[in-house]
Homo-oligomer: A and B are copies of this chain.
């Protein structure tokens, strides 16, 4: 295949935003195009989105975005893979460029979720669960994550404090990220130990509390991807997409032999590392899919950064904090940067691009040259991972 390079990136701030879905997609796209600063025509647009139909009563938003940006006759489609829609759209754009049929592609992921109530948003995300085996019984993503967390905590000695450490670290990182939804310092006492902590941090689905769950966010993120031929024309260091891995697992979580095992994460990461010819120890900075705090810990093990059951120990030791051996979620992650579902997989790569270019300001991981992302679809039933390298 032909190599694929990221030459432009941009995003909206995540949060409760003004404007409609197309406004957000447009804003992120314009930033990425300006950032790329290339004169080559965009030939293909791939929009990552999960909820335009259910949340916004829209379809065909790929064509609509081409119209907003006056990019016709550029091709366009929407790619949907639940919360891993962003990763999937980047993968498809890589296929387009790798095939030799496309030289310049724009990937834009976005979601407008705050137009509906919190309950509607939770129900919307639950539409990705198994219709007959899960959804019909009222299962939601927080509920699945809670059952997963309970088992994981019991088996590996992960405590409520460990979960809170993920939240505290990622909130701290988000304070250094002007694009992050949540800009709030939290402390162990404030969310767990003090008598009033239970008021600040009520249970959502035990053992998960409010601060263990990502917020419901609006937002969009975009990347300009190009072939080597185009990448050579720009002065700034291009970021190469060195590894792509994706894998699926059973739709219903209870059908997995060991429900604490995230097989699709392990397989997807393994494929991405194999394609890149690199190993977990080569990674300088990672963006993992911490929709729930437990998931950052579990993923940090499944992708191979730490041994099974040791992720929370590495976390406790500060190895995954900024300044640590392997900073995870310097952006604030889904937990604090926010999680507009279609945008997330794209935003992870926007953050890694900034990190590898040395443009991450106060949250910069010094000397980062190799980055890793894990975008988690379903409850681990469709996962997309990337390894990106500074050239």
The interface residues of chain B lying within 8 Å CB-to-CB of A85 are 77
Contact A67 B251, CB 8 Å, known A76-B382, A80-B59, A81-B60: yes
* Interface status of A150 (Cβ within 8 A of chain B): no
Decide if B82 touches A59 in the complex (CB within 8 Å).
yes
Contact A58 B131, CB 8 Å, known A53-B51, A78-B80, A99-B98: yes
Interface 0/1 of A243-262, CB less than 8 Å to B: 01011111110000000000
Decide if A60 touches B378 in the complex (CB within 8 Å).
yes
A residues 69-108 with Cβ under 8 Å of B? 71-82, 85, 88, 91-92, 94-96, 98-102
The interface residues of chain B lying within 8 Å CB-to-CB of A51 are 53, 59
* Interface status of A279 (Cβ within 8 A of chain B): no
CB distance from A136 to the nearest CB of B (A): 11
From B20, B73, B92, A77 is in contact (CB under 8 Å) with B92
Decide if A377 touches B63 in the complex (CB within 8 Å).
yes
Decide if B95 touches A101 in the complex (CB within 8 Å).
yes
Decide if A60 touches B92 in the complex (CB within 8 Å).
no
* Interface status of A267 (Cβ within 8 A of chain B): yes
The interface residues of chain B lying within 8 Å CB-to-CB of A381 are 60, 63, 67
The interface residues of chain B lying within 8 Å CB-to-CB of A378 are 60, 63
Residue of B nearest to A93 (CB): B95
Residue of B nearest to A47 (CB): B80
The interface residues of chain B lying within 8 Å CB-to-CB of A50 are 59-60
From B75, B95, B246, A248 is in contact (CB under 8 Å) with B75
A67 to B247, CA, bound (A): 12
Decide if A72 touches B249 in the complex (CB within 8 Å).
yes
Contact A79 B77, CB 8 Å, known A72-B248, A248-B72: yes
How many A residues touch the partner, as a band? 35 or more
Interface 0/1 of A116-159, CB less than 8 Å to B: 00000000100110110000000000000000000000000000
From B53, B72, B78, B244, A54 is in contact (CB under 8 Å) with B53
A62 to B128, CA, bound (A): 10
* Interface status of A281 (Cβ within 8 A of chain B): no
A94 to B44, CA, bound (A): 14
Decide if A67 touches B250 in the complex (CB within 8 Å).
yes
The interface residues of chain B lying within 8 Å CB-to-CB of A96 are 92, 95
* Interface status of A57 (Cβ within 8 A of chain B): yes
Contact A80 B57, CB 8 Å, known A73-B267, A249-B72: no
A62 to B72, CA, bound (A): 28
Interface 0/1 of A28-66, CB less than 8 Å to B: 000000000000000000000011111001111011101
CB distance from A210 to the nearest CB of B (A): 25
Contact A62 B95, CB 8 Å, known A1-B101, A53-B52, A127-B53: no
Closest 8 CB pairs of A and B: A53-B53, A98-B99, A67-B251, A60-B128, A73-B247, A95-B95, A60-B82, A78-B80
**18 residue pairs from A and B, CB less than 8 Å apart:** A1-B100, A52-B53, A54-B57, A59-B124, A59-B128, A62-B81, A63-B377, A67-B381, A74-B248, A75-B247, A76-B81, A76-B382, A92-B96, A95-B95, A95-B96, A95-B101, A98-B99, A98-B100
